[in-house]
Structure 1
Amino acid sequence: MASLPNGTAAAAGSSGGRPVDKEVDFANYFCTYGYLYHQKEMLCDRVRMDAYHSSVFRNAPHFEGKVVLDVGTGSGILAIWSAQAGARKVYAVEATNMAEHARELARANGVADIVEVIQGTVEDVELPEKVDVIISEWMGYFLLRESMFDSVICARDRWLKPDGVMYPSHARMWLAPIRTGLGDKKMEDLDIAMDDWNLFVQDTQAYYGVNMNALTKAYRAEHEKYYLKSAIWNNLHPNQVIGQPAVIKEIDCLTATVDEIREVRAQVMLPISLEGARLSALAGWFDVHFRGSAQNPAVEEVELNTAPDEQGGTHWGQQVFLLTPPVKVSKGDSVNVSFSMVRSKENHRLMDMEFTYELHEFSGRKHPAITTKMYLE
């Protein structure tokens, strides 16, 4: 999943599905994928690339002589690998003009007779046959941002054979307590922004005779949302994780429904494992697994993990959710977290979240619960 120039996230793979809201959403979401520099960022992610490459070639029996559907093919590399692994036919669906590049790559790699690139959305395209395998790199920040999995579910329900497999087949979302200086930096940025606003208010009054102070509260609220309540992309080091991570959502890609992923709610206990730390944020990441199915298991299971890694991790990084105020914790304490994530009403590809966290000290003392709203935009 690439990042847009303004720092927001683009979708994980490329766009194979169709937004369900407004035409402007369609245009904004899909337009970025016509550019090779977005594709290059994803193609340069070695963790991502190695996981998909291994999942295909170590499980070649799933592909040999089979029909494959690649949802959101982008540059077409997953379709090309599928053909190289022995697929009889690969339908590579891509909504953007990147489809032309995918056709060119298929020709250049000698698989144009196998890989058929179809420009369109999986909600609209018609295939001449059912498929044995659906492969897609649909994952967004914190797994579900972008809602591209909706399109994969649509493709599965329309085109996958009853004994077919999905690549990936399973996914999990994780949450962990962390220490980070990002909150201090963001608070400094907020203070600078408010100092600048206050000077603006003074100057406007002095030079133009208009008192703008009535808007100060609204201006601050805007900037608090931007600096303190918006998820922050970061590649964390493992030593920033100060407690035991917990799974907050598990997804079976063969059976999941859109209703199941529309809202994610969980209650977890996060034991603290570091003495004298400051719990300043929670971090979210995901992993996906290539297991095949119960009827047709993988020869070798492969995992793609986006957890904090001392080698630098992936282009997905992790999402950091600042806790205000931070909490001093000790080894043996635990943090009880009630978590909810729902799609934004304004744009279903973005997420609104709420955390309620309560510190339970090892001594038995409980701190008052604190609720904070966050946004994954």
Structure 2
Amino acid sequence: MMTRDQERSGRFHEAVAAASRGQFVVDLGAGEDLNWARAAASSGASRVVAIEESPESYARALAKMAQDPPARSVEVILGNSLDVDLGESADILVSETIGNIGSSEGAAVTLSRARGTLLKQDGLVIPDSVRTFGALGNLRGLLGTDTPAFGSAAKHYVDAIFRWWGGPFDVRLAIANPIQSELYSDPIELERLEFNSTISETDSRIGPVAVTRDGVVDCLMCWIELSVAPDLPPLDTLRVPTSWSPCVMVFPESISVTQGQSGVMRFESRLSDDGLHPDYFVDLELNRSPSNVNVVLESLHHAGTFGGTAFYRELFAGWSSRV
């Protein structure tokens, strides 16, 4: 899917091709297609290393290399980027470990540590930065249906997640092509990662909330604005369909809001117990007379409750028979 995502892959290909000539390029989490390693090799890089942690993807990458002349100069290494010794520091690091929330796939940890072990002090990271935004939303309105359900492909994917973890939990939900008129507040910046500056592996940010219309909200919709390179237009995943679909964090209960209502939101990321992927914590307070409204929720990378809200209980009705 990511290989076929032209909005996403086009920006990465342009940035890698423009920067690679005569450079030592490392592609982190290269995958079986070796997209950016191949782009660097084709653009005249002096050396290209692709690092892939999955044995299955590594084996498929080796098989594809034999059929692709530009890829034959790529050195493919099976392993974790934190454990690899390349013998010299790279000029460029490329990684697509960006999630629906910028840090959710482990980009903050992966790239902050790889910069220290694999990259020259004045080296370049691609992408340049990612910002995550959020807005209050009505979940069924965003979905465009009153009867939420997974499609067959999504069911297979969720089942695989549950088998990996050893049981079901309330997974974070991605929504392709959400109905944007079902957002009820101005965008709130939740997170900012600058990959060519100091990268914090955890974050806590407080921002103002401004309600733009009357309605009922029951989720926080999150999306990213990705800058692959400073001279390329950023990719806004709320407005441009990509494989980085916006995702939602479901409130414990729905709340009524009115146009002009204001408040404040704290959005915090903490590393989960795997030391790589963040858990997220939201504390929303909306001004209301005679007493303010407070919503507290957590969105964990794995584990947590199963059927913790009415929405999830409806979504997962009967799911235990498939786990």
How far apart, in 2, do the equivalents of 1:353 and 1:148 lie? 15
How big is the shift at 1:329? 1.7
Q: Percent identity?
A: 21
How far apart, in 2, do the equivalents of 1:120 and 1:372 lie? 36
How big is the shift at 1:187? 11
How big is the shift at 1:331? 2.0
State the partner residue of 1:69.
26
The 8 Å contact of residues 66 and 88 in structure 1, kept in 2 or not, is answered as: yes
How far apart, in 1, do the equivalents of 2:218 and 2:39 lie? 43
How far apart, in 2, do the equivalents of 1:303 and 1:166 lie? 16
How big is the shift at 1:68? 0.5
Unaligned stretches of 5+ residues in structure 1: 1-40, 190-222, 292-297
State the partner residue of 2:260.
332
How big is the shift at 1:80? 0.5
How far apart, in 1, do the equivalents of 2:216 and 2:45 lie? 52
State the partner residue of 1:44.
4
- Greater C-alpha Rg: 1
State the partner residue of 1:281.
219
Are residues 226 and 250 of structure 1, via their aligned partners in 2, closer, same or farther at CA, if it must alter by over 3 Å? Answer: same
| Letter matched to residue 373 of structure 1 | E
The 8 Å contact of residues 180 and 280 in structure 1, kept in 2 or not, is answered as: yes
How far apart, in 2, do the equivalents of 1:148 and 1:56 lie? 18
Report how many aligned residue pairs link the two structures.
281
Of the three residues 164, 170, 173, the one matched with 2:129 is: 170
| Letter matched to residue 80 of structure 1 | R
Unaligned stretches of 5+ residues in structure 2: 149-166, 303-323
How far apart, in 2, do the equivalents of 1:149 and 1:358 lie? 28
The 8 Å contact of residues 343 and 351 in structure 1, kept in 2 or not, is answered as: yes
**Secondary structure of 2:293's partner?**
coil
How far apart, in 2, do the equivalents of 1:355 and 1:65 lie? 45
Aligned-residue CA RMSD (Å): 3.0
Of the three residues 129, 133, 143, the one matched with 2:102 is: 143
Give runs of aligned pairs for residues 102-121 of structure 1, distance below 5 A: 102-112=61-71, 114-121=73-80
The 8 Å contact of residues 171 and 251 in structure 1, kept in 2 or not, is answered as: yes
How far apart, in 1, do the equivalents of 2:105 and 2:145 lie? 25
The 8 Å contact of residues 50 and 77 in structure 2, kept in 1 or not, is answered as: yes
Give runs of aligned pairs for residues 282-321 of structure 1, distance below 5 A: 282-291=220-229, 300-306=231-237, 308-309=238-239, 313-321=241-249
Are residues 76 and 177 of structure 1, via their aligned partners in 2, closer, same or farther at CA, if it must alter by over 3 Å? Answer: same
How far apart, in 1, do the equivalents of 2:293 and 2:175 lie? 29
Are residues 183 and 315 of structure 1, via their aligned partners in 2, closer, same or farther at CA, if it must alter by over 3 Å? Answer: closer
The 8 Å contact of residues 103 and 112 in structure 1, kept in 2 or not, is answered as: no
TM-score (norm 2): 0.76
TM-score (norm 1): 0.66
**Secondary structure of 1:301's partner?**
coil
